[in-house]
Amino acid sequence: MTRRSEQISLHLNAYLTAHSTPPDAILRELATETAERYPNETGLQVAPEMGTFLTLLTRLGRARRAIEVGTFTGYSSICIARGLGADGRLLCCDVSEEWTSVARKYWEKAGLAGRIELRLGPALDTLRALPAEEAFDVAFIDADKLSYPSYWAELVPRVRGGGLIMVDSTFSHGRVLDAGNDNPSVIAVRAMNDQAAADDRVELIMIPVGDGLTVALKH
């Protein structure tokens, strides 16, 4: 129902998912509804193994406050919110009332609606309106690729020391390796990857799960 990890074979991916904690009934139902309602946009939803990883990383970081840029129908937000502490809060940024109406429904089903705040509008406007202080323990970026460098620039100062910044789709389907690819989205992702790698405020690693996940620990 959702995209698989794209950098490994189908057989190895099947083995990987068979040996990972599977999504529960709510996440499976959400993935099915998303695929039925938006068959051409299912690639915007994180892979199930990515969702499990987001929950684990959020939990391991003992996070209480998180922010997500790019919510779509809510799969990743549920995974992050489930990893937060008992009094944790997640702020979601998205531009689509239609897509996030599905997310709201599944936040209710998952018992998380009271812990998630949605702000509709251009994410950069939302981020720039936030206080310029280290308020978040976890940040997850998975939105329009053209704004990736700007999202990084706005979010890193707002994540506390010891917090995590996670960025999805940093392989851009392998196109980041093609120096001659002049697709604006690829150029933007490549620029953010270089920007992040040179950022002395963080330590990071790119992980070959989904379409590439960058995980950065802020000093």
Domains of the chain: residue spans and CATH: 10-218 (3.40.50.150)
Please name the residue that has the structure tokens 């851009």.
172
Per residue in 110-139, pLDDT (tens digit) is: 999 999 999 999 999 999 999 999 999 999
Per residue in 40-89, pLDDT (tens digit) is: 999 999 999 999 999 999 999 999 999 999 999 999 999 999 999 989 99
* Mean model confidence pLDDT for the chain: 95
Contact 27, 51 (CB under 8 A): yes
CA–CA gap between residue 73 and residue 42 (Å, rounded): 10
Exposure b/e, 58-93, CB count within 10 A at least 16 = b? beebebebbbbbbbbbbbbbbbbbbbbeeebbbbbb
**Residue among 169, 196, 193, 198 at smallest CA distance from 179:** 193
pLDDT band for position 11 (cuts 50, 70, 90): confident
Structure confidence at residue 4 (pLDDT): 53
Contact 100, 92 (CB under 8 A): yes
**Residue among 60, 109, 66, 111 at smallest CA distance from 88:** 66
Structure confidence at residue 5 (pLDDT): 58
Structure confidence at residue 6 (pLDDT): 59
**Percentage of residues in the chain with pLDDT exceeding 90?**
89
**Mean pLDDT to the nearest integer, 158-184:** 96
